[in-house]
Amino acid sequence: MDKMLLLLFLGLAAEICSGLDNGLARTPPMGWLSWERFRCETDCTTFPDSCISEKLYMAMADKMVELNLKAYGYEYVNIDDCWPAKERDPETGKLVADPDRFPSGISALADYMHARGLKLGIYEDFGVQTCAKYPGSEFYMEIDANTFAEWKVDMVKFDGCNSDPNDSPYGYPTMQFYMNKTGHPMLYSCEWPLYESKKPDYALIRKTCNLWRNGHDIGDTWKSVSSVIDFYGDNDQNFSAYTGPGGWADPDELVVGDFGLSYYQQKAHFGMWAMFSAPLLVSVDLRTISQEALAILQNRNVIAIDQDPLGVSAKRLDGMNLPNSISVWTKPLADGSTAVAFYQKGNSGRPTLVSTTLANIGLASGNGYNVTEVFDGKGMGTFKPSSPFKVLVDPNGILLLKAVPM
Ligand SMILES: *[C@@H]1O[C@H](CO)[C@@H](O)[C@H](O)[C@H]1NC(C)=O
Ligand SMILES: *[C@@H]1O[C@H](CO)[C@@H](O)[C@H](O)[C@H]1NC(C)=O
Ligand SMILES: *[C@@H]1O[C@H](CO)[C@@H](O)[C@H](O)[C@H]1NC(C)=O
């Protein structure tokens, strides 16, 4: 993109994207989230090391420090469902953490994170109960917002189970109002579009939330991950137009390092989340993660694409007629260059050759481009827009490139 266009684009982005004004999530948040990997295991007798308990979150924080993940940008350690006791405090109406699994309490857990330069996220639900049937926030939003602020929680994920879907446009902003009123900044992650009964009003969602989950929960399978990528390519109702500093569409947590994906699938998963400017919240056991998966999560070049300050979500270029379910996606970056992903959803058994030109993928700057492969940082050379451009794309894989105009 040339300079004039870039300026115009930045201006437009500022217009469209007037979002939630809490100063948070200027780039997509990064960290760790318990749900996909640890779910709602509350039996700490049988599963002392993996039940939802303060021990688990402390162990993950320790590993984040040991693996130096903060230096890569990972800072949130996020609790998901199943942390509270089944009943609120009968006198104050406040939520209480399960006393057996969180004997020190959430406030102490937040201190534990802060002492390590990390942040604590928590989970609630705007219905009468959470998805796993713990007490919900309906009728208690002000109390809950105050409680989270008092505990110095840094992020709140607000689910929508057991609520009236017609209430989403009122419930989510109400919680935001009370969270703002506490004066304590808390990043607000909403599952609003997922539970909305009507066409989601993404402009209002962006004014209310820092993150919005718009698809179903991710699973640890290629089928699940690739269907999320399809969903972002289809971009139903243009949701990606609302992504930008302060507010991000959330394709759900990362399952890099878990059980279901091959190495190449994990690379494609991580690379595409970076293309979407998605939050990078990984749900993995950091105590046993493989070196290979860790290297993916610690790839600074890919993280830089995710954290690019322009904050655009990649668009799939449709109508390209490429072989073997390959699609091409482009994402403009703040420095005027473009990230390009060649993504092969299917498995054709071997790397597939794609012969095209940069002009075909919308890169038309007359002086040409200097292209590098993002994962390993290897230079591919310089190309005029019309010169032949040939790449190999792995099955269930990604070739992620950065094209710098010369
Ligand atoms: C509350 O909202 C105001 C106005 O949008 C904003 O300036 C302020 O930073 C917000 N405070 C918190 C804690 O989110
Ligand atoms: C999507 O949103 C952008 C920004 O608001 C707008 O320019 C574009 O026309 C929209 N596209 C569709 C298909 O609605
Ligand atoms: C292309 O970029 C690489 C770094 O990726 C750099 O080493 C090289 O000098 C650049 N080439 C040109 C012609 O700008």
At 4, the pLDDT band (50, 70, 90 cuts) reads: very low
Mutate to test the pocket of ligand 1, among 150, 176, 180 (most ligand atoms within 8 A of CB): 180
Contact 136, 167 (CB under 8 A): no
Q: Are strands 315-317 and 326-332 parallel, antiparallel or unpaired?
A: antiparallel
Dig out the tokens for 105 from the structure: 């309490």
* pLDDT, average across residues 254-275: 98
Look up residue 344 and give its amino acid. Answer: Q
pLDDT at 11 over 50: no
List of E strands, 289-346 = 315-317, 326-332, 338-344
Q: With 90 as the cut, is the pLDDT of residue 337 above it?
A: yes
Label residue 9 by pLDDT band (50, 70, 90). very low
Q: Among 289, 306, 323, where does a domain finish?
A: 306
Predicted pLDDT at 339: 99
Residue 6 CB neighbour total at 10 angstroms: 16
Mean pLDDT rounded to a whole number for the chain: 95
- Residue 379 Cβ inside 6 Å of ligand 1? The answer reads no
What pLDDT score does 197 carry? 86
For residue 3, pLDDT beyond 60: no
DSSP category for residue 111: H
Domain that holds residue 346: 315-405
What the block records as the tokens of 240 is 């990606």
Residue nearest to atom 7 of ligand 3 (CA): 379
Q: Report the distance separating Cα 331 and Cα 369, nearest Å.
A: 15
Same domain, 302 and 337: no
In tens, the pLDDT along 343-354 reads 999 999 999 999
Q: What distance in Å separates the CA atoms of residue 79 and residue 32, rounded to the nearest whole number?
A: 9
Residue 180 beta carbon below 6 angstroms from any ligand 1 atom: yes
What pLDDT is attached to residue 10?
Answer: 43
Say whether both 281 and 186 belong to one domain. Answer: yes
* Residues pairing with 390 in the sheet: 355
The Å distance, Cα 55 to ligand 1 centre, comes to: 33
186 touches 121 (CB < 8 A): no
Q: How far is the CA of 34 from the centre of ligand 1 (A)?
A: 28
Nearest residue to 54 (alpha-carbon basis) of 132, 161, 141, 151: 151
pLDDT of residue 17: 53
Check whether residue 182 and residue 160 sit in a common domain. yes
Res 15 pLDDT > 60: no
Mean per-residue pLDDT, 161-189: 96
- For the four alpha carbons of 154, 17, 274 and 327, in that order, the dihedral sign comes to positive
- Domain final position from 251, 284, 306: 306
Higher pLDDT, 26 or 165: 26
pLDDT at 1: 35
Residue 71 beta carbon below 6 angstroms from any ligand 2 atom? no
Confidence band of 403 (pLDDT split at 50, 70, 90)? very high
Cα of 241 vs centre of ligand 2, distance in Å, is 6
Question: For helices 263-275 and 222-234, what crossing angle results, to 10°?
Answer: 20
Rounded Cα distance, 325 and 303, in Å: 26
The first and second tokens of residue 160, run together, are: 């929508």
* 206 and 296 together in one domain: yes
Q: In terms of domains, do 293 and 321 share one?
A: no
Model confidence at 187: pLDDT above 90: yes
Residue 160 phi, psi dihedral angles, 5° rounding: -130, 15
pLDDT at 13 over 80: no
What percent of the chain has pLDDT above 90?
94
pLDDT of residue 266 exceeding 90: yes
Residue 324 has pLDDT above 50, yes or no: yes
Q: Answer whether 65's CB lies under 8 Å from 116's CB.
A: yes
Ligand 3 binding pocket (C-beta < 6 A) is 370, 372, 379, 382
Residues 319 and 276 in one domain: no
Nearest CA to ligand 2 atom 14: 238
Say which ligand is closest to the CA of 379.
3
Q: What is the CATH number of the domain that holds 377?
A: 2.60.40.1180
Strands 397-405 and 369-373: antiparallel
Query: For ligand 2, is residue 77 a contact (CB within 6 Å)?
Result: no
Q: Which residues fall within 8 angstroms of residue 33, CB to CB, at 6 or more apart?
A: 76, 78, 80, 121, 253, 281, 282, 283
Q: Which amino acid is at 78?
A: N
Residue 319 shares a structural domain with residue 273: no
Ligand 1 contact, 24 CB (< 6 A): no
Q: What is the CATH classification number for the domain harbouring 160?
A: 3.20.20.70
Question: Which ligand is nearest the CA of 182, by number?
Answer: 1
Co-location of 137 and 164 in the same domain = yes
The torsion of the CA quartet 328, 332, 333, 336, rounded to 10 degrees, works out to 120
Q: Are residues 319 and 302 in the same domain?
A: no
Q: Which pLDDT tens digit goes with each residue over 285-307?
A: 999 999 999 999 999 999 999 99
Q: Strand, helix or coil at 11? A: helix
Res. 57 pLDDT band, cuts 50 70 90:
very high
* Band of pLDDT at residue 8, cut at 50, 70 and 90: very low
C-alpha neighbours within 13 Å on the C-beta side of residue 342: 29
Rounded mean pLDDT, 377-392: 98
DSSP string, 18-38: ----SS--SS--EEEESHHHH
Q: For ligand 1, what atom is nearest to the CA of residue 183?
A: 13
Task: Decide if pLDDT at 224 tops 80.
Answer: yes
**Residues 331, 288 within the same domain:** no
| 405 in Cβ contact with 337 (< 8 Å) | yes
Is the pLDDT assigned to residue 170 strictly greater than 70? yes
Last residue of a domain, one of 242, 276, 306: 306
Q: Are residues 292 and 374 both part of a single domain?
A: no
Assess whether 35 and 99 both reside in one domain.
yes
Instruction: Give the residue numbers marked as catalytic.
Output: 159, 217
Q: Report the number of distinct structural domains present in the chain.
A: 2
User: Any idea which ligand is nearest the CA of 241?
Assistant: 2
Average pLDDT over residues 359-382: 97
Q: Is 80 exceeded by the pLDDT of residue 263? A: yes
Closest CA to ligand 1's atom 4: 21
- The pick from 335, 370, 374 for probing ligand 3's pocket by mutation, whose C-beta has the most ligand atoms within 8 angstroms, reads 370
pLDDT tens per residue, range 229-248: 999 999 999 999 999 999 99
Q: What is the pLDDT of residues 100-133, one digit of tens each?
A: 999 999 999 999 999 999 999 999 999 999 999 9
